[in-house]
Amino acid sequence: MDGEIAALPAERGPSAQAVTLTINGEPRPLRIEPRVSLLDALREHLGLTGSKKGCDQGTCGACTVWVDGRRALACLTLAVTCEGHEVTTIEGLSAGGELHPMQAAFIDKDAFQCGYCTPGQIMSAVALLDEGHAADDGQIREWMSGNICRCAAYPNIRAAIRAVRDAAGGE
Amino acid sequence: MIGKPLRRVEDLPLLLGTGRFAADISLPGQAHLRVVRSPVPHGMLRGVDGRKALSMPGVIGVWSAADLDLGPIGFRMVAFPGMLPYRQPVLAAERVRYVGEPVAIVLADDPYRAEDAADLVELDIESLPPVLDQLQEPAQFDDQNDTEALLHEDGYGDVGAAFAAAPHVVELTVTVGRHTGVPLECRGALADYRPGAGTLDFYGAAKVPHQNRLLLAGLLGLPPQLVVLREAHVGGGFGVRGEVYPEDVLVCWASRLLGRPVKWIEDRNEHLLAANHSRDQVHRIRAAVLADGYITAIDDEFWLDQGAYVRTHAAAVPTLTASMLPGPYQIPAYRVRGHVRLTNKTPAGTYRAPGRYEGTFARERLIDAVASSLGKPAMEIRLSNFISPDQMPYARPMSALGTDLEYDSGDYALLVGKAQARFGLAELEHGLAARRALGEAVGMGCAFFVEKSGLGPYEAVRISVDQSGHIDIITGAGSMGQGFETVITQICAQELGVRPETIRVLHGQTDQIEHAMGAFASRLTVMAGSATLIAAQALREKALAAAARMLEASPRDLELSDGAVRVAGDPDTGISLAQISEALRPDQAARWGLEPSLTADGWHTTDHMCYPYGLHIAVVRVDAGTGQVIAERLLVAYDVGRAVNPMLVEGQIVGGAAQGLGGALLEEFRYDDAGHPQCTTFMDYLLPTRAEMPPVDVLITEDAPSPRNPLGVKGAGEGGTTAMGAAIAAAIDAALGVPLGVKELPVHPEAALRLAKAARRESTSEPGGA
Amino acid sequence: MRQNVLRPGLLVDINDLPLNRVEDLPEGGLRIGALARMSDVAQAAGVVQRFPVISQALLLGASAQLRNMASMGGNLCQRVRCSYFRDATSPCNKRDPGSGCAALDGFNRGHAILGTSDKCIATHPSDVAVALVAMDAVVHTRGPADDRAIPIEEFFLLPGDTPEREHPLEHGELIVAIEVPATPTARLSIYLKFRDRESYEFALVSVAAAVRIQDGAIADVRLALGGVGTKPWRARRAEASLVGKLAGEASFAEAAGQELAAAKPRPLNAFKVELAQRAIIRALMTLTNGDTR
């Protein structure tokens, strides 16, 4: 193996355990069973209902959050495994009530209808730009394909992503 | 303001993650309900044993049908008495009829514990053979009834004579698969019964809260005024969400039993098993045709797979299928027979363009068949059969959703001409032909359709201005996320000359307004929009009357603009709506002989629907090696009478087109031969992602305003969907060079591959040995 | 687990083990840590440049979010997509040995046509495993007693009479790395995937292909199929048929036909026999700059 393992952590559960998660930069202590998903921990235990549950099986993208800055599906992540990692949700995106440029672009380009998939789309779209995967429409299509929009506002979501990309690029 | 692409007023909470969807709402002390569902498609229910579940920590109780004293769920729409025996019980009592049917409920203090315990409820079911095919002869449903819940027969004219005299008869059989709305938000409900007060609050209502209040209050034996339905944000409706389902009744029943709030949130697997399916029709259709392509009669027989029960929509889908099938064409004689047959599948209801997606597919494929048999272009057949503008209003002696079927306005040929020019169809076809010559399997297909919208009979709106000048618009009609609040705001802002930011739209709360129909049948802008205009006009009159007193002027000399009343030509005299509202306190209003408060009601009532229409064009490429069908472009031309907000109309059409595409190529609920559903996750039930979503060009025209409402509008919610299946089918035919190749939707790769092989055999004239 | 297919008594979070590196080996091979994420492997320079087939299979294998989350070792161990396996109320020899196989006469459109038995016809779902099988990868494991190096074709077991056993891992044994040996053939490689939906779906048929041409003839060729086998399917008959032949549609078609001659289709998945052959031909034509249509 590549390195040494320090000490085996103790077995925990199945009853509720004390866990401290770091959400949007804040330490958030809570008591949850080890089987609780990050999505349920956010929604049911921490009152952060912005991340949405569309399938709970990793197939729709509505629960997209960032773990250590990388996009991940909160429904397929066990909350206890996020100890020591930074979790960012849609609630942490708009600092001080100011809309993130992507949120503003979603209004301007009419990039949603019912709004249910929108938090996941936005978290994915912002990460997409950070990853550098929005160079052209083909990339946007492939790298956003994990976020389903049943209202099919896809063309307008793409337009919003392009607008933010081009504004950031100074074009 | 009207006609402008105003940015949506409802966006902010949805972007910030502060939206309040059903699952986002919680109440102190709530219990969590989990439904135990039938794992078998058909069987006699011999027993439900909840003892193991009851022993689990946190479990409050387990209940089955024997514990309930509730009747079956009633009908909300077009019903025939003969359908009553097929209503769905809240919990299955003696027989289970589909995989997913509610059999028992478990309540616990935590949703995880409720789910754990539900897995331990033991069901004793004696399996029976399932019925899985609507074409099979009717089987036994119960002691008195067979599985044909309805034979709907309708029509007009002498069909027999027309066929006897026709030089050409064209016939085909076509099928549209089983698919449905699948909003991204699953269903959810939170019921709060308050012992003592005797009130029941229900959160998570959608679409038709007022209608559902009557159904729920009736089932529970409560006075409707003590039952309050509250609509929250709704994550998509598409016809599926917001009907009364067994789970809605169960949370209310359990909350009353326990005297505490009860919450139920559906998971995706449940949704695909439990929420209404739709479509799934087989049509055998024939046309009597003259030598010039004029169709003198259509004779259609169809079979609809209704699933296990008849739910709230009752006969809405089969009757709409029947009455709307002739579409834009004259069709002097028409006969239709629709068999609504029960099977052991999830019950079916409405889904965006219900009955029209199926009927349009059958009819437009028939038009293509007529064209092919006469060797004429299909568009020529369409043009020679269109109802002409001078025939408008055009009455077809049938009824649709309880209204006389009378098209209000339209110039179909004009729309075809505009679409051909705007989209450059001739050049497009030229380019495709060039690509075909180089070996690519590409093609274009068209389909024309008439939609219906703006179903009555009424909708109500109340507008109030408070002492700060803030305006509340209250309507019972619901919002499913279409931009409804924006449209209503635009109409009110224009009429009152106020800024949109001063307006709030409150909707879907049954304690705020007495009467409402709701959000279905593309009726909101027509009905609630018209009611808003009428209410705003009344409010304006009242403001002018009060201002006349305040300014000691005649109302006729006053004008309302920029939120203030002025004497015409005297800009210094402005009195704001806020000041008028303050002045209209009860004592002063009484002195002036006016009703207190700056408030006005508006009603729009109608006996007729209005009928928008459109042309769908699909360009597809078929990978002849693998059978994959790739939609390259979709084009939609649609006449909405008048577009209040063109940006939102376009959004509706693009979204509708995607769903039409999904039903044509991807989406299908499949069952195996034993009756087990095979599409219970998003990996088996395939929704279009952005990768399958081609560019959609939309041409919105306003050539035929509706004379039936003061705005002239027609609905736009479904017109992106209706003919997309038919257009894509025609495009695949064109790409492969197989006339009438596609007779079944969705077109899976193996079907396209078969067609491609047939085309090759045809072109090389090889013997067709397999 | 959510669907009650698996009910483990103990779950160990191994995500923080230091097994997430992607290393270039001195002679040109790769060593991929078992916990390396699909996204990182797909973008690693050594993978993109020297083993394009692996990178492509990863990018076509899951959504961007899942690629960030899923590890390479986990990918190899993922369970089958058979709906009867996942429906805890249906008989399934894999989930409940001896209970029967509902897929044999059930809805088996997505099921396997190669390597099947009368106990199980479930398709192996991984994309990247198909590429790794084509590249002769080796799975390195560590157990309580010793370390093992398992050639990847032996890592996936045919269902036979024991479909519940999918790989030879013993209790307590963990995948630590996947090594891919150097081969010049890999530079000219491709992964093609055919499915109902253009993105984000399991394959109806996929093919990993690599070819090296010398003096106009095929010097080396690697072919593996996904979506059609009960394990990632190395198409050795096709490979044997191709070596030494001239590259061209005729030789490709003959090889594909030989490989699929062993197929045992069922009525609903019979289309895969032809689709798989077309996929092989197309992949090889694309690699050899032939007409791709």
Domain CATH for C233: 3.30.390.50
Work out the average pLDDT over C146-163: 97
Question: By the CB < 8 Å criterion, does C89 face chain B?
Answer: yes
Tally B–C CB contacts below 8 A: 74
Which alpha helices (DSSP H) does B695-738 contain, by range?
724-736
Q: Domain check: are A75 and A113 in the same one?
A: no
CB B535 within 8 Å of CB B600: yes
- What is residue B97's predicted lDDT score, i.e. its pLDDT? 98
User: Which residues from chain B sit within 8 angstroms of residue A147, using beta carbons?
Assistant: 690
User: Which residues from chain A sit within 8 angstroms of residue C176, using beta carbons?
Assistant: 1
Query: How near does any CA of chain C get to the CA of A26, in Å?
Result: 22
- Examine residue B596 and say whether the peptide bond preceding it is cis (omega within 30 degrees of 0): no
pLDDT confidence of C1, banded at 50, 70, 90?
Answer: confident
- What is residue B766's predicted lDDT score, i.e. its pLDDT? 42
Q: Domain check: are A163 and A108 in the same one?
A: yes
Contact assignment for B657 to A152 by CB distance below 8 Å? yes
Query: How near does any CA of chain A get to the CA of C146, in Å?
Result: 12
CATH at residue A45:
3.10.20.30
pLDDT of B770 over the 60 cut: no
When CB atoms are compared, the residue of C107, C271, C278 closest to B670 is C107
Which residue range is the domain that position A106 belongs to? 95-168
Question: By the CB < 8 Å criterion, does C15 face chain A?
Answer: yes
Residue of C nearest to A120 (CA): C65
Q: Domain for residue A143, yes or no?
A: yes
- What is residue A2's predicted lDDT score, i.e. its pLDDT? 43
Contact assignment for C63 to A80 by CB distance below 8 Å? no
Q: Hey, is B167 helix, strand or coil?
A: coil
**pLDDT 10s digits, B383-403:** 999 999 999 999 999 988 888
CB B73 within 8 Å of CB B312: yes
Contact assignment for A155 to B236 by CB distance below 8 Å? no
User: Which residues from chain B sit within 8 angstroms of residue A114, using beta carbons?
Assistant: 183-185, 233-237, 480-481
Contact assignment for C200 to B625 by CB distance below 8 Å? no
Mutation pick from A71, A87, A126 vs chain C, by most beta carbons of C within 10 Å, is A71
Query: How near does any CA of chain B get to the CA of A10, in Å?
Result: 24
- What is residue B42's predicted lDDT score, i.e. its pLDDT? 98
Q: How far is CA B673 from each of CA B463, B588, C111, rounded to the nearest angstrom?
A: 56, 75, 16
Please count the structural domains in chain C: 1
- What is residue B478's predicted lDDT score, i.e. its pLDDT? 83
Residue of C nearest to B751 (CA): C271
Tokens of B225: 């005024």
Pairwise CA distance, residues B246 & B249, whole Å = 5
pLDDT confidence of C291, banded at 50, 70, 90?
Answer: very low
Q: Domain check: are A28 and A86 in the same one?
A: yes
DSSP state of B753: H
Please count the structural domains in chain A: 2
Strand B227-231 relative to strand B199-205: parallel, antiparallel, unpaired?
parallel
Beta-bridge partner residues of C151: C138
CB C116 within 8 Å of CB C269: no
Q: Show which subunits contact A, needing at least 3 CB pairs below 8 angstroms.
A: B, C
Residue of C nearest to A73 (CA): C65
Residue of B nearest to A153 (CA): B655
A-proximal residues of C, 183-212, CB under 8 Å: 199-200
Query: How near does any CA of chain A get to the CA of C240, in Å?
Result: 36
Q: Domain for residue A41, yes or no?
A: yes
Q: Domain check: are A68 and A114 in the same one?
A: no
Pairwise CA distance, residues B134 & B147, whole Å = 9
Which alpha helices (DSSP H) does B457-596 contain, by range?
484-496, 529-551, 577-583, 586-592
- What is residue B44's predicted lDDT score, i.e. its pLDDT? 98
**pLDDT 10s digits, C53-74:** 999 999 999 999 999 999 999 9
Contact assignment for B21 to A116 by CB distance below 8 Å? yes
Q: Domain check: are A119 and A141 in the same one?
A: yes
pLDDT of B684 over the 80 cut: yes
The helices-and-strands tally (H runs, E runs) of chain B is: 19, 29
Among residues A31, A61, A92, which one ends one of the domains? A92
Query: How near does any CA of chain A get to the CA of B661, in Å?
Result: 11
Q: Show which subunits contact B, needing at least 3 CB pairs below 8 angstroms.
A: A, C
- Examine residue A14 and say whether the peptide bond preceding it is cis (omega within 30 degrees of 0): yes
Q: Domain check: are A53 and A67 in the same one?
A: yes
Query: How near does any CA of chain B get to the CA of A46, in Å?
Result: 12
- What is residue A3's predicted lDDT score, i.e. its pLDDT? 44
Q: In whole numbers, what is the pLDDT of chain B averaged over residues?
A: 95
Query: How near does any CA of chain C get to the CA of A95, in Å?
Result: 24
- CATH topology classification for B278-454+608-764: Aldehyde Oxidoreductase; domain 4 (3.30.365)
- Looking at chain B, the whole-number percentage of residues with pLDDT higher than 90 is 92
pLDDT of B122 over the 80 cut: yes
Write the single-letter amino acid at B293: G
When CB atoms are compared, the residue of C2, C18, C39 closest to A2 is C18
Work out the average pLDDT over B626-631: 94
User: Which residues from chain C sit within 8 angstroms of residue B624, using beta carbons?
Assistant: 293
Which residue range is the domain that position C225 belongs to? 187-287
Query: CA B604, B606, B612: angle at the middle one, nearest 5?
Result: 100
Residue of B nearest to C202 (CA): B683
Q: What are phi and psi of B148, to 5 degrees?
A: -90, 100
- Examine residue B28 and say whether the peptide bond preceding it is cis (omega within 30 degrees of 0): no
User: Which residues from chain B sit within 8 angstroms of residue C202, using beta carbons?
Assistant: 683
- What is residue B401's predicted lDDT score, i.e. its pLDDT? 87
- What is residue A8's predicted lDDT score, i.e. its pLDDT? 60
Taken in order B521, B526, B530, B533, the sign of the CA dihedral is positive
Question: By the CB < 8 Å criterion, does C293 face chain B?
Answer: yes
- What is residue B402's predicted lDDT score, i.e. its pLDDT? 86
pLDDT of B417 over the 50 cut: yes
Q: What is the DSSP string of C154-208?
A: HHSPP-TT-TT--S-PPTT-EEEEEEE---GGGGSEEEEEE-SSSSSS--SEEEE
- What is residue B183's predicted lDDT score, i.e. its pLDDT? 97
Question: By the CB < 8 Å criterion, does A105 face chain B?
Answer: no
Contact assignment for A142 to C199 by CB distance below 8 Å? yes
Q: Domain for residue A66, yes or no?
A: yes
R_g over Cα of chain C: 19
Tokens of B655: 């979204």
When CB atoms are compared, the residue of A55, A89, A142 closest to B268 is A55
Query: Which candidate, B155, B444, B147, places its Cα nearest to that of B285?
Result: B155
Question: By the CB < 8 Å criterion, does C214 face chain A?
Answer: no
Contact assignment for A133 to C18 by CB distance below 8 Å? no
Burial class (CB within 10 angstroms; exposed 0-12, middle 13-18, buried 19+) of C68 = buried
Question: By the CB < 8 Å criterion, does A122 face chain B?
Answer: yes
Q: Domain check: are A65 and A112 in the same one?
A: no
When CB atoms are compared, the residue of C13, C21, C63 closest to A2 is C21
3-state secondary structure string across B26-40: CCCCCEEEEEEECCC
- What is residue B633's predicted lDDT score, i.e. its pLDDT? 98
Q: Domain check: are A142 and A104 in the same one?
A: yes
- What is residue C290's predicted lDDT score, i.e. its pLDDT? 62
- What is residue C88's predicted lDDT score, i.e. its pLDDT? 82
Contact assignment for A108 to B21 by CB distance below 8 Å? no
Q: In whole numbers, what is the pLDDT of chain C averaged over residues?
A: 93
Mutation pick from C198, C201, C291, C292 vs chain B, by most beta carbons of B within 10 Å, is C198
Question: By the CB < 8 Å criterion, does C194 face chain B?
Answer: yes
**pLDDT 10s digits, B173-182:** 999 999 999 9
CB B105 within 8 Å of CB B63: yes
Contact assignment for A81 to C13 by CB distance below 8 Å? yes
pLDDT confidence of B764, banded at 50, 70, 90?
Answer: low
Among residues A68, A92, A116, which one ends one of the domains? A92
- What is residue A95's predicted lDDT score, i.e. its pLDDT? 73
Among residues A41, A57, A92, which one ends one of the domains? A92
Question: By the CB < 8 Å criterion, does A87 face chain B?
Answer: no
Mean pLDDT by 10 residues, chain A (171 residues): 53 89 97 96 97 96 97 97 96 87 96 96 97 94 94 96 88 43
CB C271 within 8 Å of CB B751: no
Question: By the CB < 8 Å criterion, does C274 face chain B?
Answer: yes
Contact assignment for A146 to C200 by CB distance below 8 Å? yes
Tokens of B499: 């800024």
pLDDT of B742 over the 60 cut: yes
- What is residue B242's predicted lDDT score, i.e. its pLDDT? 94
Q: What is the DSSP string of B16-74?
A: HT---BGGG---TT-EEEEEEE-SSSSEEEEEEE-HHHHTSTTEEEEEEGGG-------
C261 CB neighbour count, 10 Å cutoff: 9
When CB atoms are compared, the residue of B119, B624, B683 closest to C202 is B683
- What is residue C9's predicted lDDT score, i.e. its pLDDT? 81
Contact assignment for A115 to B235 by CB distance below 8 Å? yes
CB C205 within 8 Å of CB C272: yes
Contact assignment for C65 to A61 by CB distance below 8 Å? yes
Question: By the CB < 8 Å criterion, does A157 face chain B?
Answer: yes
Same-fold call for B25-130+202-257 versus B278-454+608-764: no
pLDDT of C141 over the 80 cut: yes
Burial class (CB within 10 angstroms; exposed 0-12, middle 13-18, buried 19+) of B27 = middle
CB B491 within 8 Å of CB B436: no
Q: Domain for residue C266, yes or no?
A: yes
Work out the average pLDDT over B213-234: 96
Q: Domain for residue C16, yes or no?
A: no
Q: Domain for residue C148, yes or no?
A: no
The count of residues in chain A is: 171
CB B211 within 8 Å of CB A87: no
Query: CA B251, B254, B255: angle at the middle one, nearest 5?
Result: 80
Residue of C nearest to B627 (CA): C275
- What is residue A9's predicted lDDT score, i.e. its pLDDT? 63
- CATH topology classification for B458-605: Aldehyde Oxidoreductase; domain 4 (3.30.365)
Pick the CATH number of B25-130+202-257 from 3.30.590.10, 3.30.420.40, 3.30.70.270, 3.90.1170.50: 3.90.1170.50
Q: Domain check: are A41 and A85 in the same one?
A: yes
Query: How near does any CA of chain A get to the CA of C177, in Å?
Result: 9
Which alpha helices (DSSP H) does C100-145 contain, by range?
128-134
Contact assignment for B681 to A94 by CB distance below 8 Å? no
* Ranges of each domain in chain B: 25-130+202-257, 278-454+608-764, 458-605
Question: By the CB < 8 Å criterion, does C178 face chain A?
Answer: no
User: Which residues from chain A sit within 8 angstroms of residue C10, using beta carbons?
Assistant: 11
Work out the average pLDDT over C89-93: 91
Q: Domain check: are A109 and A161 in the same one?
A: yes
Q: Show which subunits contact C, needing at least 3 CB pairs below 8 angstroms.
A: A, B
